[in-house]
């Protein structure tokens, strides 16, 4: 049976797509690739756990993360000089969501990871996902 499947994979280009999933980009440029992430089986808390295991403390460190066909997560990092402000993924920091900005600084959307400089007294909806909860962003470099 395996030989037959292997034969069809080699002969028919789209057969492999039917048999197996394809790798899916779930983080791009330090924020969730929402269009791809929504359709994946990987839950947000599970993803955050996987990222922490890989040594990620905030999304601005991640250039790209791909959920492989095997279910494993491949993470490609920015060089330290290119690390951006991003959504912190440590549980205690993620719980500090706000709608109203009390202090000027970089904030990340709690839902999609989009990050922007916000002024004191601002808040509002994220321009990417329209959610209204923000977390103080981090620009912490990776420690390896």
Reply yes or no on whether the pLDDT at 130 is more than 80: yes
pTM, entire model: 0.81
Domain range summary for the chain, segments of one domain joined by +? 18-136
Reply yes or no on whether the pLDDT at 144 is more than 90: no
Q: In this predicted structure, what is the pLDDT of residue 15?
A: 52
Cβ neighbours of residue 75 under 8 Å, at least 6 residues apart?
A: 27, 51, 54, 56, 62, 64, 65
DSSP helix/strand/coil, 32: strand
Fold of 18-136: CRO Repressor (3.30.240)
The mean predicted confidence, pLDDT, of the chain is 86
- Tens digits of residue pLDDT in 3-41: 665 566 566 665 555 555 689 899 999 999 988 866 555
Q: Looking at residues 113-136, what average pLDDT do you find?
A: 93
Q: Looking at residues 82-102, what average pLDDT do you find?
A: 93
């Amino acid at each position: 049976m395996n030989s037959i499947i292997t034969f069809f994979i080699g002969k028919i280009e789209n057969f492999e797509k039917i048999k197996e999933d394809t790798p899916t980009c779930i983080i791009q440029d330090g924020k969730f690739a929402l269009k791809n992430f929504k359709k994946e089986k990987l839950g947000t808390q599970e993803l955050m756990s996987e990222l922490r295991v890989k040594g990620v403390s905030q999304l601005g460190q991640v250039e790209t993360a791909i959920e492989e066909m095997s279910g494993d997560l491949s993470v490609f990092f920015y060089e330290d000089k290119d690390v951006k402000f991003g959504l912190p993924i440590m549980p205690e920091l993620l719980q500090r969501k706000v709608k109203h900005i009390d202090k000027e600084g970089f904030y990340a959307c709690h839902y999609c990871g989009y990050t922007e400089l916000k002024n004191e007294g601002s808040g509002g909806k994220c321009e990417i996902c329209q959610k209204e909860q923000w977390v103080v962003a981090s620009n912490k470099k990776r420690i390896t």
